[in-house]
Structure 1
Amino acid sequence: MASTEELKQRIDLYDLAAKLGLERPQSRGNYKSPRHPDKSPSLSIFADGTRWKDHSCDDAAGTCIDLVMYVEESPVDEAIRRLHEIYGIPLDRPDAPRRELSFEENVAGRCLAQADQVKAFLVETRKIAETAVERAIRGKSLGFNTFTSTKRKVGEVGYGGPAAAFIVRTLNPGHVKAVDMRYLDPSLNGDVKTQTIGEKFGHIWTADLRALKAARRVFVVESAINALSIDSCSLPGTATVASRGTGNVDNIDWRFLQGKEVIVAMDNDAPNERTGYCPGQKSAWSVYEHLTGLNISAMLLDQSAWDDAGWNDLNDVLQDVGASGLKIELNRLEHWAIPGMIGDAERQKGRSRLFLPSYDFAHYWKYRVKPDFTTYVSKVEKDDEAGDDKLTMQDLCGFRVAGISRVTVASALSTMTGEVDAQPQVLFSVSVQAPRHGANLQRRVFEDEQLHNVDQWRKFGPVFQPSAFNRMVSILERSADLGARHAVNFVGLAWREGKLVVNEGPDCYFTNPQQQCPYHNLTFHSGSKEDARQVINAYQATFKHNAALQLLVWGLGAHLKALLGFWPHMIMQADKGAGKSTLIKRLERTLTFTMFSGQSLETVFRIVTSISSTSHPVGWEEISARRQQTIDAAVNLLQESYQYTINRRNSEMTEYILSAPVLMAGEDVPVRSLLGKVVRASLKPGAKGTQMRESLPRFPMLQWLQFLAKHYDRSQIQEIYGRYRKRCLDLSRASGDDDGAVRMAGNYAAVLMAWRLLCEFAGVEESQGDFPQDVLHEMNEHISETSQDREPWVWIMEIALSEIDRGEFRYPHMFDSVQDDERVDVECLLVRTSNIMDHIAHSPALRDRWNALPVKSDRVFKRQLRQAGVIVAENKERVINSRRVSNLVAVDLDALVRYGLSVGWKETAPV
């Protein structure tokens, strides 16, 4: 079967439109819409012949596949098969292995083959519109099952019989996960009315996946029959989702509803005898809490009159009052300030969701909400003619408070290590729906004393009656337990209550989100393992020696910090014109990471905010072009974020977790004091390969992180890392006595470990493209080129020798021959180490360089000189400028040359 990209390239839409029978007046211009009578042609094909749009319908546009789906009302797979049929493209490739169908897919195939038989049950018995049934059949989500067991007798559980088959598929790409049977005659199956083949929990049913993705409003119901009942109303821009029972709502990932308006319409069940709760109501409350926690607007359907009408579910309503009556009921939404909490005690059915004291309940009934507005009853008068109370409503605020929830935020130690939390912080999450944001809830995190500050609430919208509003807030406070949750303020892999979780931006509860995390609103991209392989192959081919792939692997492995305990920063070394900027932009798209300009890092506070509370990588552009003060501050913070450090700032002592790995790009990255905490990727001249295509998918970051969280724990990661660290040390060109080189080898071992895990995730060979060999080669080059830069004494001597050359070093020193232990004369510099440190410390011109030095003690400086083997003798005395000077050390000038250090001197007389 040809790929979608191949079909888009091979098929001309003008030719396809003719083959599909679209009418084109006068054989030029636009085509007439196939969906409705078109007085003037509204469907246009763009000049390149690859895209189209029906201007009479906002969401009708796309490629050749979309055009077939639009004209023939078929699902994606049928549209692709139809294109193969029209253009004679073989469906099967000889080199493409056929995937073996699962048991659920075989059952679904048999049910779809006889789907027409389900119409009699759904249309005649359940009064569902035939158009809704046909739409579900076209969407391959509805079929009919006639299977009966040969091992069971009629009337035994498991015998089977005629049943409507509701086929459950994944949202993307639509694989069959289960088939739900609804038996027409349950007595044949031992009085068991429903049965599921496949996975029961975690998946929803919908009639048309494509309609669900395009819908602006979604109803959540319990069963597929109720979903089809709503579909019978033909509501524009509306889709339905069945949770497949009340017990499944807590297992579903509801994020697919983000950006949509959701109405929850579960069954109107009688109270459970044991718990007192109504199962349908309780599941509706649970769905509401899940959606509110995801910032998804949700309202509950008002079912207060259903008992009087004898309705238990939406299909009962459809059968009783028809589609027109059901439409009316679907527009009746609960208007109570706390969803599911009825303000009339006489109408309460089953156990109440929340207990309110009498003094609160006496005021609670006054507050009435619409989806994005709130009013309250300001006056109650008796209507003598009607005999009812006449309510005077007054505007309260220009938004709806969707929920106030108590959030327990884990401490930084618990977040990064998984240890038992000894310092949690309690905050309050406030979710609000305002008109300007549509169906998306706006969330702010309040500290305890902010909750009754009206000025804080006015950031959401206008508060017309502050006193009445504060009274409502005092009532809503009692619902803080309903949506109470534990959270971690960290984006990436983190520990929550001792378990490794994938935490996205919306899962966090920052009091100052824009300051506390650069990814406070980040949601990780979702995709397939095939996407991951495409990305890996593209990055491996775009630069030789795997230079680009090393950057990708480093960025993906950064999330291992919660398991490994550290992660190195990355230096991207490249000359002008090497393709650095282009590669960075592609990396930004692939990983969805942020590259900060050097100008945005001018202050320490801005640097802190760029690396806080995340393990997702960030980038710094041309940091070397900043002031030395900025560079020094940045390097110090990078030292801290190699693992993680807590930083509290401003009067509120807002917490920042310095943790993000940083990509530093440029021709000269000033990180001499950071060499033990970085790895490097070099874009060398002439190393460019194949340019990455514009249609390259983004990396499936969400699936990658879920893979790590599900399959690995800290001990496994440490064991794998230990193997790669040993390998890097064995193949390192540095000796084991060089502590700096040992740490550098450990950093490159972390990258190799990330590659090993990535290969397992994406299904590629670890040896592909000689990636491990290229990483080891880069490691050894990095170690050899920085051997003299890893020791602070080298930086100090470099400054001192430069000052001697300038004639600015005023302390006693001289050049002379000194005999070493073998009685050989050696040309040396005789100087006091304390004088060198004093000169650097007290010279105004060297102030910035002194502040950046990691060593400021004469004792440590002398010890490093001794360990480096450059001191020939100590405690020497010489006459310098007519004064006898003692406690001089003799530094071997030839030994300094090996470290790239040299100085000019007069051969016959002291300076």
Structure 2
Amino acid sequence: MASIEEIKDRVDLPDLAASLGMKQGAGQKANWFSPAREEKNPSLSITQKGGRWSWKDWAGDDSAAGSCIDLVIYCGRANDVSEALKFLHEYLGIPTESPLRDEPRRERTLAESIGEDCLRQAEQAKDYLMSRRISVELINEAIARKSIGFNTYTSKKVEAGQAGHGGPAVAFIVRELTTPRIVAVDLRYLDPALNGGVKTQCQGDKQLHGWTLCPRKLAEARTVILTESSINALSVECARLPKTAAYAVLGTKNIKHKDWRWLRGRQVLIAFDHTDAVDEKSGNRPGLSAAWEMHEILTRLDISAMLIDMSGWGEGCDLNDYLKEHGPEKLAGALRRIEPWLFQGMAGFDKKDDRPEGRQRVYLPWHDASVYWRYRVQKDFTTYITELKTDDQGAVSMDSKEVCSFRVAGLSRVTIQGTVATTTGEEDSQPSVAFAAVVQAARHGDKLMRQVVEDEKLFNIDTWKKFGAVWDQSRFMRMLNILERGAGIGERKAANFVGLCFMDGRLTVSEGSDTYFTNPKQQCPYSNLSFPTGRASDARKVIEAYQATFRDNAASILLAWTMGAHMKVLLGFWPHMQLQASKGSGKSVLTGRLEQTTAIKVFSKEAIKTAFRLVITTSATSHPVGWEEISANQQVVIDAAVSLLQEAYNFKSSPRGTDALEYLTCAPVLLIGEDVPVRSLTGKLVRADLTGKKGPMMPMDLPRFPVRQWLEFLASQDRHAVHRKYEELRKHCLAKSRASGTDDGAQRMAANYACILLAWRYLCEFAGIEAYDQGGFPQDVLAEMNRHIGETSADREPWVWIMETLLSEISSHSFEHPYVWDVVKDAAGEEALCLLLRPSHVMDHIKTTTRLRDIWNGLPVKSDRVFKQQLRHSGVIVADDIERMIGPDGNRQRMGHLTAISLERLKAFGLHAVQRGGERGDALLYDGVAPAARGMAAAA
């Protein structure tokens, strides 16, 4: 736990103010709007003196001022200092708990030590930066934001003039984007010769992070300019472009290691060193080649990326060189010039011998190259040069014509992995190939649209008209023909699955944006899902809140099932969940909070009214879905739902619909309702019972569960180790089960509940929960398992459902086949009142009776042979293959091969027969009262 002084030193007050929801007026140094009142002009100032931030609300009283702690209280996020400190610990990512005795306190990293030393000498960086034409105002702003410092370290072991000696250097402080923690220091040496000719050097982790002047400004920017080095990013900031921020990648070799998803929804301009000298080995310019790679990475993530046009810049000129030579105003103009070519980074040429050296991203034969230069693109528009004109003074002008109202940002070949390889990790033997068209149109701003197109539909103009207007179809088709040449740019392999899956035999996390469905809205309910992100400490808060809101861990069992569902790809199966609750038990509130914290979808009964809609909700994902009130639908829909749930317990792939689209049925389903028709699914689900267990409401400011980090944690696990842990827990559940070892259905249920315990074990490890039995979770799971087993002993046997129907038909005099009530001696010689009939007659009656059609369709057993085997296995048959005279007086017939079913033994399964005669005058009746009847039955 950090001290108050440490907190004050580490908090950047402008960033904190933005995090608290405060708004700043126009300008970098403008005042902020007070959170205490609505005002037209901002009155709250934030200043920094002596390296310490402070604030004051000039329209408030004298107490409306102070440090970061006072600001948290002033904004209403805390009532006192202790609550404010807790808030700031969470904001900075510092644990508030005392460290464990056997766990040493985290010490400052080398990068943090170097960075803090450099910040104390930041004023010494001014002279060098001013010599590079960085404005004094910007330098002071960078120093105030603790973004730059100065390093004076020299090594005593390495002599001057050798690499590693060091020397005076401007230090660019690299921080995490979400916290102020220093992760690296990027050094730029004033005298590279003193350091063995090495101009730049980085201490810390630069692979996963980059440098920016102000993380808050970067978060609010609508346009982000990517540069290679920190000095170039600082040069971009000198241009003062509106709603624009610069981000240095700290070396082009690091771009493939970084997570760029935070750039989605922004316009990205790539300003690497495009004018590098041509490399003799590759024949390309290194900076431009890196820009091509950066463009591919971003386009693959559906991020709008274009290259700054540097065609008129001098050889070897970078952004800071351009600033130093031309000044900030001309640099601002240069940054607004974007390359107009179809393939970004590849200039066109209209003469056969004028190929730009080192700038050929894609090889184009001359018949394509001679047309390629005529196509010109803007951010969201495409034109065609129809004619070049030269006036008397030699000035060239161009006549153009509109082609389409959008820009084709990319057309890439995609190999889609087969479902077997995706779900098992086996070698892929059934891949398919499609093409991903990525387009930018004006109506979507800086967000790219993606459409997966099958090969035979690539040149179907109707496919492209979905993006926007196509005015010149012939030239548009010719453009597509050229873009075909670049189908290998950004070529990728994908798995059409959302959640945890296998890619090339390795576990990977796949989000909606990583999939390439031809019809995404139908093929996956999460085709546009981005998993919630956060810290492991957020997971712990969510778990503890769920444990507190319902007694006996009723809600946390549901949470563990939801998060553990992604382990399905490791185990090969995952049970469904039945949420059981009476009216007013808090079921709707809990499912609503589950949607908020875990991003699962709950479908209403209207959304699942047809069998096809049910298929759509369970396709191609391990992220669970919810079904509300499935029992309120028609019986044909209920039967389809039960059948689908049987398939979704494992993985089942099948083509459906007129287009034969592939659907991978696999999503675990949360069944919500007071009467869930899950009788035939008892062995494939677990349940949570909320009745009478309501506790306090969960806090409204509860963070979302960090699902993305949870999936990455699972992806790092060893598959065999997971199976070993599961097998241990399965044996433990079987040992604690109330069922006998011969009850196969109960053993399967115990195996399902072992999945919940497995998920809990990994959740504890992920969230840093030391006590596996926190809140008595394992004990409550086992108790729920045994209640479930005890209450469903009859429901697990299909013969019970058949006998229920039979006894109901007999009671209503609707069973037309021969039967009789009689006393029969069992093998031990004891007498038992029995129902005598043929099992084949029972199955034939249910099959041929129209009003029992729905029951017949829902039966998993449709053979009289299997029905009789289940009767015998359950022990309700007293005797078999016996004969009796059946029928009214004067019309009796001898019936053989009858099976005697004990009425007393049926009672153990909740089956109760109504012993009464029918209009047909059954020959033998027994009501259990008159002894004479027993004798009459024996005489007959």
Considering the TM-score relative to the shorter chain, is it more than 0.5? yes
Pick from 877, 901, 905 the counterpart of residue 911 of structure 2: 901
Check whether the contact 1:262–1:297 (CA below 8 A) recurs between aligned residues.
yes
Decide whether the 8 Å contact of 1:409 with 1:426 is kept in 2: yes
Q: What residue number does 1:211 align with?
A: 217
Scaled by the length of structure 1, the TM-score of the pair is 0.91
Measure the CA separation in 2 of the matches of 1:288 and 1:592: 30
Q: CA deviation at 1:424?
A: 0.4
Distance 1:32 1:380 in 2: 49
Specify which of 741, 757, 762 is matched with residue 757 of structure 1. 762
Q: What displacement does 1:563 show? A: 0.9
Match of 1:815 in 2: 821
1:54 CA displacement: 6.4
Distance in 2 of aligned mates of 1:69 and 1:747: 59
Instruction: Kindly provide the amino acid, as one letter, of the partner of residue 521 in structure 1.
Output: N
Cα distance, 1:717–1:85 mapped onto 2, change above 3 Å:
closer
Partner Cα distance (1:670, 1:433) in 2:
47
**Number of the residue aligned with 2:866:** 860
Q: 1:440 aligns with which of 447, 458, 466?
A: 447
Q: Which amino acid aligns with 1:350?
A: G
Partner of 2:929: none
1:141: Cα distance to partner? 2.4
1:546-695 matches, within 5 Å, as: 546-685=553-692, 687-695=693-701
1:238-249 matched pairs, under 5 angstroms: 238-249=244-255
Q: Is 1:313 the equivalent of 2:318? A: yes
Aligned counterparts of 1:387 and 1:193: Cα–Cα separation in 2: 44
- Residue 468 of structure 2: SS of its match in structure 1? coil
Inter-partner Cα distance in structure 2 for 1:289 and 1:31: 36
Counterpart secondary structure, 2:568: helix
Is residue 2:741 matched to residue 1:736? yes
Give the CA deviation at 1:96.
5.0
| Per-residue Cα deviation, 1:422-463 (whole angstroms, up to 9, x for no partner) | 110100000000000000000000000111111110000000
Q: Deviations over 1:228-277 (max 9, x none)?
A: 00101111211001111111111111111111111000012111111111
Q: From 785, 789, 801, give the equivalent of 2:807.
A: 801
Unaligned runs of 5+ in 1: 8-12, 18-29, 72-77
What do residues 746-794 of structure 1 show as CA deviations (whole Å, max 9, x unaligned)?
A: 1100110000000000000211101000001000000010001101000
Q: CA deviation at 1:171?
A: 1.6
- Are 2:266 and 1:260 equivalent residues in the alignment? yes
Cα displacement (A) at 1:155? 2.4
Structure 2 contact 54–68 (Cα < 8 Å) conserved: no
- Structure 2: how far apart are the matches of 1:316 and 1:426? 45
Cα distance in 2 for residues equivalent to 1:155 and 1:786 = 81
Q: CA 1:82 to 1:151, structure 2 compared with 1: closer, same or farther past 3 Å? A: farther
After superposition, residues 355-504 of structure 1 pair within 5 angstroms as 355-381=363-389, 383-504=390-511
1:836 is aligned to 842
Alignment of 1:82-481 (within 5 A): 83=71, 89=81, 96=98, 99-123=106-130, 125-267=131-273, 268-307=275-314, 310=315, 312-344=317-349, 346=354, 348-350=356-358, 352-381=360-389, 383-481=390-488
Measure, in 2, the Cα distance between the counterparts of 1:227 and 1:246: 14
Q: Which residue of 2 aligns with 1:80?
A: 68
1:249 partner letter: I
SS of structure 1 residue aligned to 2:906? helix
Corresponding position of 1:705? 711
SS of 1:346's partner is: coil
CA distance in 1 between counterparts of 2:55 and 2:557 reads 42
**Which of the numbers 902, 916, 919 marks the counterpart of 1:892?**
902
CA distance in 2, matches of 1:420, 1:197: 41
- Match of 2:91? none
Counterpart residue number, 2:784: 778
The letter of the residue matching 1:903 is A
Quickly say closer, same or farther: Cα 1:220–1:672, change in 2 above 3 A.
Answer: same
Deviation for aligned residue 1:184: 1.1
Counterpart secondary structure, 1:439 = coil
Question: Matches of 2:319 and 2:579 in 1, distance apart?
Answer: 60
Q: Deviations over 1:124-159 (max 9, x none)?
A: x21112222233223322111111222232223222
* Whole-angstrom distance in 1 between the partners of 2:740 and 2:468: 65
Q: After superposition, give the CA deviation of every residue in 1:14-67 in whole Å (9 maximum; x if it has no partner).
A: xx99xxxxxxxxxxxx999696999xxx97656xx3x7676789xx9xxxx999
The runs of at least 4 consecutive aligned structure 1 residues that moved more than 4 Å come to 1-4, 30-38, 42-46, 51-57, 65-71, 81-99
Instruction: Write the mapping of 1:18-29 to structure 2, written as runs, cut at 5 A.
Output: none
Distance (Å, rounded) in 1 between the aligned partners of 2:786 and 2:235: 68
CA distance in 1, matches of 2:257, 2:119: 27
Structure 1 counterpart of 2:648, one-letter code: S
- The residue type paired with residue 911 of structure 2 is L
Task: Give the superposition deviation at 1:350.
Answer: 1.2
Conservation of the 8 A alpha-carbon contact between 2:345 and 2:359: no
Change (3 A) 1:694 1:182: same
Q: Structure 1 vs Structure 2: percent identity of aligned residues?
A: 51
Paired residue secondary structure (1:656): strand
Distance in structure 1 (CA, Å) of the matches to 2:864 and 2:157: 90
Q: Which blocks of at least 5 consecutive residues in structure 2 are unaligned?
A: 8-12, 47-51, 59-65, 87-95, 100-104, 926-940
Distance 1:786 1:655, change over 3 A: same
Tell whether the 8 Å contact from 1:139 to 1:209 is kept in structure 2 after alignment.
no
Q: Aligned pair in 2 of structure 1 residues 645, 129: CA closer, same or farther (>3 Å)?
A: same
Q: Kindly indicate whether the alpha-carbon contact (under 8 Å) linking 2:811 and 2:916 is maintained by their aligned counterparts in 1.
A: no
**AA matched with 2:365:** P
Aligned to 1:910: 924
Contact 1:218 1:260 in 2 (8 A): yes
Relative distance call for 1:296 and 1:650 in structure 2 (3 A) is same
Equivalent position amino acid for 1:572 in 2: L
Moved more, 462-471 or 172-181: 172-181
SS in 2 for 1:394: strand
Q: What are the superposed Cα offsets for residues 696-716 of structure 1, whole Å, 9 maximum, x if unpaired?
A: 010000110011112x13211
**CA deviations over 1:468-513 (Å, ceiling 9, x no partner):** 1000000001100011000000000011111111000011001001
Shift of 1:100: 2.5
Deviations 1:822-854 (A, max 9, x none): 111111000100000000001111000000000
Aligned to 1:74: none
Aligned to 1:26: none
What is the alpha-carbon distance in structure 2 between the residues aligned to residue 31 and residue 282 of structure 1?
Answer: 41
Q: CA contact under 8 A between 2:240 and 2:332: conserved in structure 1?
A: no
- Give CA deviations for 1:331-355 in whole Å, capped at 9, x if unaligned: 1110011111210263613151110
Which secondary structure does the structure 1 equivalent of 2:354 belong to? Answer: helix
Indicate the SS of the match to 1:675.
helix
Across the two proteins, how many residue pairs are aligned to each other? 866
Specify the SS of the correspondent of 1:204: coil
Deviation at 1:626, TM superposition (A): 1.2
- Aligned counterpart for 1:767 among listed residues 773, 797, 805: 773
| Distance apart, 1:167 and its partner CA | 1.7
1:647 Cα deviation after fit: 2.1
How many Å apart are 1:194 and its aligned residue? 1.7
> Secondary structure of the equivalent of 2:777?
helix
Superposed CA RMSD in Å reads 2.8
Separation in 2, partners of 1:568, 1:84: 45
Q: What is the distance in 2 between the residues matched to 1:664 and 1:513?
A: 24
**1:353 & 1:404 partners in 2: Cα distance?**
14
